[in-house]
A and B are shown apart, each in its own frame.
Chain A
Amino acid sequence: MNMTWTNEPDRQQTGTATMAKPALPVLQLVGVSKRFDGFTAVDDISLDIREGEFLTIVGPSGSGKTTLLRMLAGLEQPSDGNITLRGTLINDLPPRARPTCLVFQSLALFPHMTVGRNVEFPLKAKGVAAAIRKERALELLRMVRLPESYYGKNVMTCSGGERQRVALARAFAYDPDVLFFDEPLSALDYKLKKLLEKELKDLHKESGKTFVYITHSLEEAMVMSDRIGVMRAGKLVQVGSPEAIYGAPQTRFVAEFLGEVNVFGASLEGTGWVAETSGEPIRLVLPKPLAGASKAAVVVRPEYMKFLADPGDADNAVRGVIYNEYSLGSRIQYQVRAGDRVFLVEMSRAQARPGAGSGEVLIGWNAADAIVVEA
């Protein structure tokens, strides 16, 4: 399967103003692969990165997303395929000659320099005079919301969040057209992460630069991105707006990567579809008929499952037994066993069934709320 996303129609044009005109992609990958000693880290990826967009690549660790980013930054060379920057082939262009900048997972701040000298580093490399360097560094510190007094501070005495900001200011000092982020927020606590996600999003809007962000957290991707690409085992399996990825996953992998979902195999028996389960057969009503296929995977998000009073209350109904109940804060999750299968049913605390701790229940979902993907 060789999917190419380059010709895909724009699913979402509402992101940023620069996206509206169908300009030349800032970066274009065509059939890019990277192999290390017989191991294929990135496998035949084609992708257009649009001018000014916030693109997030998500995938489990080892899916090749960091290698992909390193090739874009020029720190690795592709084994196959072409990377072009506004139409110019840049496969072998060294990082220092690219108008791109990478914010490393470790941030890679220079521990022997002050905050100010870290931020000024790219300006010094360009040969900018000291006075102008300082002026610009102070400006950048303001931009990332650090006090100007931090200019002379030892960077190793800064907190985790402050170091993030220093790394960001340093990247902006290079004045790149495209910024790459390699999970820079992964080491921070939840609250700070949320704050910095928001600031990063704001910074993206204000600067108008192209951001390419990689993370293993879909939640992070959902919050910030104009588009999301999902990677698995070196391949890009789906690219689209957050809404499209969440609402219409194209494979079982993408569906399961999006968080806890009910996924089960279904097969065509006679004229109707039946869920693959060891217990009593569960007849299924699917949202759309699958042409030619006799097997499929059905995805139903836990929040679309509900308790029924009568089997006729929903298109699909399953009889089961509640055997676990979890509090997820504002939401409650029930685990309902039906035969050898466990269904997750999630609802807000306000709707939760009081005293549903045990006993037989009837659960169900409407056909329109299910997503059918390749088995």
Chain B
Amino acid sequence: MDTTRPRRTHSLIWVWTLFVALVVYLPVVCGALAGLSKGRYFLFPIRAFSFEWWQKTLDSLEIQRIVENSILIALIVTVVSLALAFFGALAFARYDWRGRRLYQKLLLLPIFFPQPVLGLALLLWFNTLGIQPSWHTAIVAHLVWIVPVVTLVIAIQVYGFDPAMEEAAADLGASRWMILRDVTLPILWPGIWSGALFAFLLSWGNFPLSLYTAGADSTVPKWLYSKMVAGYTPMVPALGTMSTLAAATLLLLGGAIAGFVRARRNR
């Protein structure tokens, strides 16, 4: 048999994968390098490297403040959206009820709505209601967009859930609380976990909604944008790199925990 053909296919797959990885990661790497430049401006090639801007970024009280804002917003959004999305996903995928199809469609709409328009619309609403925009209102704005996304993420897990398991648990004498704690939640846990990651990262990285609805308070993406528009400093790529690294760490940590749980279960 001709063995060169599979080998050639194999090497082509490798070349293609490397190419895609290069296209995807080259800008990220450039951004990271820009943050390590000693110079004041965004110029290539970089003549001298230093951690000066990283240090300045870490020392900045302003940046500390916006990072705290972003983390606080993302954490609250994660908790609230998980609570809403968990039961929303059960209504979406588990229970058959009158109006379910309409609900499934209505839920998708905010996701497709352009975020800047959504942000502006929400700002107008807040003004009408006489609410001063701040990071509190940004949380509400984030929830409008993120709850549907997280609901869909958890709903995918719910679709794969055999309702007979809850029935079996009830038949074997379990109370509603025990069914939720010992059967439904653990089985849906992977979906809940990915939903939480989605919620946190989507909120952490969200710019258009924060721009309109956070008022005078700033978040990381909002600060990055404003500095790009006026007053660039290498703290922008430095903070961008830190943010990316933090997100990647969070994802890796999530993967590691999931792997650990799976390994423990299979033991």
A→B interface (CB under 8 Å):
73-75, 94-96, 100-102, 104-106, 108, 110-112, 114, 121-122, 124-126, 152, 154, 157, 170-171, 173-174
Contacts and interface: CB of A to CB of B under 8 A. Distances in A.
Interface string B254-267: 00000000000111
Most buried by A among B164, B171, B175: B171
B72 interface: no
A152 B264 CA distance: 11
A108 B267 contact: no
A86 B267 CA distance: 45
Contacts of A170: 172
Given A125-B178, A154-B265, A157-B266, A174 B164 contact: no
B171 A125 contact: no
A104 B163 CA distance: 11
Interface string B172-190: 1111001000110011010
A174 B168 contact: no
A125 B164 CA distance: 17
Given A112-B186, A112-B265, A121-B169, A96 B164 contact: no
Per DSSP, chain B at the interface is: helix
B162 A106 contact: yes
A171 B171 CA distance: 9
A154 B261 CA distance: 13
Interface in B236-267: 265-267
18 contacts: A73-B171, A75-B167, A94-B170, A100-B171, A101-B171, A101-B172, A102-B167, A105-B164, A108-B162, A108-B168, A121-B169, A121-B172, A122-B172, A125-B173, A152-B267, A171-B172, A173-B172, A174-B171
Contacts of B182: 110, 121, 124
Contacts of B170: 75, 94-96
B171 A74 contact: yes
Interface in B135-155: none
B10 to A, nearest CB: 32
A368 B28 CA distance: 90
Nearest to A102: B171
Contact of B167 (A108, A124, A157, A171): A108
Interface residues of B, number: 21
A122 B173 CA distance: 6
Nearest to B173: A125
Contacts of A122: 172-174
Contacts of B173: 96, 122, 125-126, 174
A111 B187 contact: yes
Contact of A104 (B167, B178, B265, B266): B167
A105 B163 CA distance: 12
Contacts of A157: 266
Nearest to A96: B173
Contacts of A110: 165, 169, 182-183, 187
B137 to A, nearest CB: 39
A111 B168 CA distance: 13
Interface in B33-52: none
B197 to A, nearest CB: 20
A182 to B, nearest CB: 9
Contact of B172 (A114, A152, A174): A174
Contacts of A105: 164
A3 B267 CA distance: 55
A229 B137 CA distance: 65
Nearest to A122: B172
4 A-B pairs with the lowest CB-CB distances in the bound complex, closest first:
A108-B168, A125-B173, A108-B164, A122-B172
Given A74-B171, A124-B178, 9 more contacts: A94-B170, A96-B173, A96-B175, A106-B162, A108-B162, A111-B187, A112-B189, A125-B174, A125-B178
Contacts of A173: 172
Nearest to A111: B187
B175 A125 contact: yes
Nearest to A152: B267
A173 B169 CA distance: 13
A122 B170 CA distance: 9
Contacts of A125: 169, 172-175, 178
Contacts of B171: 73-75, 95-96, 100-102, 174
B267 to A, nearest CB: 7
A170 B168 CA distance: 10
A106 B178 CA distance: 21
Contacts of B266: 154, 157
